[in-house]
Amino acid sequence: MTDNVVRDAFFALHHGLPRQGPGSDSTTLRLLSLVGPLPERPRVLDLGCGPGRSALLLAAETGGEVTAVDLHEPFLDELRAAAKARGLAGRIHPANADMGELPHQDASFDLIWAESSAYSIGFDEALRRWKRLLAPGGSLVLTECEWTTADPSPEARAFWEPHYALRTTEENVRACTGAGYSVLGVHRQPESDWDEYYGPLAERADAADPQAPGMADALAGTRAELAMRRDHGEDYGYTGYALRPATSWPTRPESAADAAAVHAVNAAAFPTQAEADLVEATPTRGCPACRTSPRRRTAPWRRTR
């Protein structure tokens, strides 16, 4: 029996289910709130969208245009039907593509979203590959399965380690900052998010025909996964990360044209005009690059264009 047959049976178990991974509408909204204000009509990229539960909610909540990417065309067909039924067909654009080799141009999106899907290419690869797609001020939201205890059980390790190396939240936060992101927020998904996924999946597995091609193997894997969560669910869980590329704020010497604006900022920063006048009169010391004038000549809040 080929891997493709088992894969098709696995997908058959998931067609029509409300979710294809642990999650909930409340978690999606919570993660969206961590991002902060978005443009009026944001460009959103939902990676590994499946039938589009998150894509539909993001389109409705943000008022934006959502490009929804998945490699399984039947899931995209489900999304097209759901978007049409909800009057969102004009703002949701399903695309059959590989999230590891995306065709989009740099700085194409204000928000990139990946719930329960980054594992397909790995957390670190997702951080690296998707960063170029973010427009200035754009944000990345992704969820990752990780250890929730410092000492996971041998059974949990034996289940996960041959397939995917889990880390702790602290390790993943370090990976985010090391990849050049600021962490806007972290959200540990509640157990109810697993119930929303595993409850319907368990019912589907009980009703499936084990004689169908590949289904016996697909059912065995699914039931092992359900049993692991039941017996060792305290060892691991999903965590959501809201990230934004860290901004570098370069400085430059102040020019004569900057003087009035710099004085205005100093005046606004202090209780009286006297403090601003003192800054104007104080010679700059210590930094050789700033010794271009008897007064402060660096405007650190100004970007170099």
For 59-104, what is each residue's pLDDT tens digit? 999 999 999 999 999 999 999 999 999 999 999 999 999 999 999 9
What DSSP string describes 209-242? -TTSTTHHHHHHHHHHHHHHHHHHGGGEEEEEEE
The strand pairing partners of 245, in sequence order, are 181
Which pLDDT value is given to residue 246?
95
Region of 122 on the Ramachandran plot (φ > 0 left; ψ -120 to 50 alpha; else beta): left
Residue from 173, 108, 179, 110 nearest 139 by CA: 110
CB 80 within 8 A of CB 89: yes
List the domains of the chain with CATH numbers: 3-245 (3.40.50.150), 248-305 (no CATH)
Q: What is the DSSP letter of 169?
A: H
Mean pLDDT along residues 39-49: 97
Task: Tell me the residue length of the chain.
Answer: 305
- For 20, other C-beta atoms within 10 Å of its C-beta total 23
What DSSP string describes 20-88? SSS--HHHHHHHHHHH----SS-EEEEET-TT-HHHHHHHHHH--EEEEEES-HHHHHHHHHHHHHTT-
SS3 of residue 268 by DSSP: helix
Q: CA angle 198-149-195, nearest 5°? A: 15
Q: What is the DSSP letter of 153?
A: -
Mean pLDDT along residues 170-177: 98
Q: What is the DSSP letter of 297?
A: -
Q: Compute, in degrees rounded to 10, the torsion defined by CA atoms 72, 75, 81, 83.
A: -100
For the chain, the helix, strand and coil percentages under 3-state DSSP, each to the nearest 5: 45, 20, 35
Whether 193 has a pLDDT exceeding 90, the answer reads yes
CB 264 within 8 A of CB 299: no
pLDDT, the chain, mean: 89
Residue from 265, 288, 257, 189 nearest 229 by CA: 189
Q: Which helix (H) or strand (E) holds 283?
A: none
Model's pTM, two decimal places? Answer: 0.80
Residue from 239, 233, 110, 215 nearest 160 by CA: 233
Mean pLDDT along residues 117-144: 97
Whether 286 has a pLDDT exceeding 70, the answer reads no
Q: What is the DSSP letter of 185?
A: E
Which pLDDT value is given to residue 261?
73
Can you tell me which residue has the tokens 């990229």? 45
Which two structure tokens, joined as six digits, stand for 184? 């806007």
